[in-house]
Structure 1
């Protein structure tokens, strides 16, 4: 379905932040890998977290859920022998489970989204798993991928972190379960170190011992460990909230979002700092953020590597800032559901924004007077692009249509419900077949 975003000068209201997708998927996996029963309070509901629910159930975990919590009886280090796993369009779920599937004799990950996840490369993780004696059939590093494992070897493992930190996180979930000790060395660069910190935090909560170097480039993982059954509470989601906060920043607003803890390890917490740098009036106390936007913003320069999933929302806010903004060290945006630099900026230009790209930079020449709009734009099946383009539509002079906006459900199924609750004029439109 498409969405029509009609210019909306004012937003008002109070919402509860969505639960964190990143923490939910990690807690689900840690609970599934435990012997015993774990409880996760306030888990996220999105296509990504639902894909992890579905797959760990296929691998042998038992899940019971009500409106507040999910109770999981894990399969420990012995997943069920399954032939196929369907991760939908969830890249992180695919990569985490490619590692866990190496404990199974023969698993094929199917390609349900050839125009999105099906285009993304996984060569670096494939190479690391092959070092561990796992045989893998693949389509040039892409789906469909068949893992022929059963007994991956511990030892010295080298993995590249230059495209994604998810490959490293996948190995960190797997290696504690192996018989012997492992040493993991990250070669090249390591993107999104903050997200690796989230993985290490969850593993520590699950009773797993890992020795990490200060720069997060080397790890010693004792083998023969077991995941402990635990109780987890999922914190509010900064990546999704970033778009709502950006929307409040570019309009006349009085918007409150609850559940965003100040000391979160989510790198996207930086949206608060960036909006402050843009001189957006806001407060952040006791996990509550209040934005009293006046539509006036200043340009910023920001290293986006630690806040990957908030950069597009930051860019959307910068479209209306006074001056030229620069977001650098963001090349890994090119390897997401779409090329979040080229594809996103092409759509911003259609709406009237003045933007430039470099290989690893986004440059925004702000237009405080607003943009023209009045166009149909393509979201490229990407939830982050959909959310960020909506922010731009709120300050356009004429409505914009975002095609295939239903893909926002990948991470934030009630995004448009939340915006409407704040007064945004957004309307679903069925596409004629």
Structure 2
């Protein structure tokens, strides 16, 4: 059974770093993701005064429930949205002055709903240039707690940041959510908080987070399900190719594993065992209409294989992908049109018609790792595709091109 070794989850690694930093004691993170995003997060913790020991297959973090050791720090969040949203929230629970900035790409991405919520909780926080965007400075004096209303319709990371903050407040936190996208990511957060000793009570979209802090633990990071989607899609578009990803199965935390159910609906054979998932290409790929609101990071993967389907592929309720590393809806549409494929888009949807992509085009990556990795799947059946920035995969998977080149052949 041809197995592909997928690096650790970016989402789990970022949350585990926050939780370990906030916990009482020393935590060990097993098989964390080594990438630009996660290294940037760990570096940010170090700048804030946390001790992070890194080896090839485990990271150790000395937790500080009282907040950052540094009284002042300047943190560069690189391109990482989790770094840019979680670290200012963590710093707010401490005492000191902390400035955060990010790459031009991350500066464009929104923070407003999160920073408004933090201000509502009494955090002294100032955006230096555009309101609701980096750079920002936090004058931290701890967080009392209380009740706050949050719109997480743009990013579930806003809710995750506040949930993670809750146990570090003096009296606990009640979060009333008015809108929520990518809900499975919140389930990841709640499960990981449980592993670090905190149980969140939930009633619909109201979350009650107790005060009292976290306890240190050893936490194993499962493979990244979003990254696995490219390998599963590679099997689906190639008759006879079978790909198994160990470590991602029915017990996985990540909602993006549900992408394989989309492939199953299109005609691929899918087997989800407890500790692994296998996809086989059958030679059939049907069109479909699918709502991807909860698994929107895999939207580009589906868009990239859609031309090979026998009927149109319509992806709905993915408006939030317009505020990711780039406007992913338009980036996918732009590149498919460059390949001669007929595409239409709306505010939160994309429809792709069948058609053999033209060989030899250059894919415009818009500096977005997911655009490169998605169109690498298209390239399996379209000769001569190149990328204007192939190296941007370092954000989540520096060895992606080598791993994809080593894909097992069709059986």
Instruction: Pick which of 402-411 and 276-285 moved more.
Output: 276-285
Deviations 1:155-196 (A, max 9, x none): 111111111111111111112111113221112x21111101
2:320 is the counterpart of 1:325: no
Match in the other structure for 2:297: 309
Match in the other structure for 1:202: 192
Match in the other structure for 1:413: 398
Deviations 1:195-246 (A, max 9, x none): 0111111111111132112x3x1112222x1210111111121100101111
**Cα gap change, 1:371/1:210 in structure 2, threshold over 3 Å: closer, same or farther?**
same
Match in the other structure for 2:276: 288
Quote the offset at 1:328 in angstroms.
Answer: 0.8
Within-5 A mapping of 1:34-433: 34-80=23-69, 81-102=71-92, 103-111=94-102, 113-114=103-104, 116-138=105-127, 139-187=130-178, 189-213=179-203, 215=204, 217-223=205-211, 225-252=212-239, 253-367=241-355, 370-396=356-382, 398-422=383-407
Instruction: Provide the C-alpha distance between the structure 2 equivalents of 1:331 and 1:351, rounded to a whole number of angstroms.
Output: 23
User: What is the aligned residue count?
Assistant: 404
Quote the offset at 1:286 in angstroms.
Answer: 4.2
Instruction: Provide the C-alpha distance between the structure 2 equivalents of 1:164 and 1:254, rounded to a whole number of angstroms.
Output: 34
Quote the offset at 1:262 in angstroms.
Answer: 1.8
Quote the offset at 1:20 in angstroms.
Answer: 1.1
Q: How does the TM-score come out when normalised to structure 1?
A: 0.89
2:6 is the counterpart of 1:17: yes
Instruction: Provide the C-alpha distance between the structure 1 equivalents of 2:353 and 2:30, rounded to a whole number of angstroms.
Output: 43
Quote the offset at 1:248 in angstroms.
Answer: 1.9
**Cα gap change, 1:181/1:63 in structure 2, threshold over 3 Å: closer, same or farther?**
closer
Instruction: Provide the C-alpha distance between the structure 1 equivalents of 2:272 and 2:122, rounded to a whole number of angstroms.
Output: 49
Deviations 1:48-103 (A, max 9, x none): 21112111222222222333222221122321223211111001221111211213
Q: Is the 8 A contact 1:351 1:400 kept in 2?
A: no
Instruction: Provide the C-alpha distance between the structure 1 equivalents of 2:253 and 2:303, rounded to a whole number of angstroms.
Output: 22
Q: Is the 8 A contact 1:280 1:293 kept in 2?
A: yes
Instruction: Provide the C-alpha distance between the structure 2 equivalents of 1:235 and 1:89, rounded to a whole number of angstroms.
Output: 22
Instruction: Pick which of 87-96 and 248-257 moved more.
Output: 248-257
Q: Looking at both structures, which has the greater relative contact order when contacts are Cα pairs under 8 Å and sequence separation is at least 6?
A: 1
Instruction: Provide the C-alpha distance between the structure 2 equivalents of 1:291 and 1:153, rounded to a whole number of angstroms.
Output: 49
- Match of 1:307, SS state, is helix
Quote the offset at 1:269 in angstroms.
Answer: 0.9
- The CA RMSD over aligned residues, in Å, is 1.7
**Cα gap change, 1:46/1:401 in structure 2, threshold over 3 Å: closer, same or farther?**
same
Quote the offset at 1:281 in angstroms.
Answer: 2.6
Instruction: Provide the C-alpha distance between the structure 1 equivalents of 2:9 and 2:202, rounded to a whole number of angstroms.
Output: 24
Deviations 1:6-46 (A, max 9, x none): xxxxxx95321221111111111111111211111111111
Instruction: Pick which of 148-157 and 371-380 moved more.
Output: 148-157
Instruction: Pick which of 236-245 and 277-286 moved more.
Output: 277-286
Q: Is the 8 A contact 1:379 1:385 kept in 2?
A: yes
Match in the other structure for 2:17: 28
Deviations 1:383-402 (A, max 9, x none): 11111111112222x41111
Q: Is the 8 A contact 1:58 1:82 kept in 2?
A: no
Q: How does the TM-score come out when normalised to structure 2?
A: 0.94
Q: Is the 8 A contact 2:31 2:58 kept in 1?
A: yes
**What 5-or-longer segments of structure 1 have no aligned partner?**
1-11, 425-433
- Match of 2:65, SS state, is coil
**What 5-or-longer segments of structure 2 have no aligned partner?**
none
Q: Is the 8 A contact 2:28 2:60 kept in 1?
A: yes
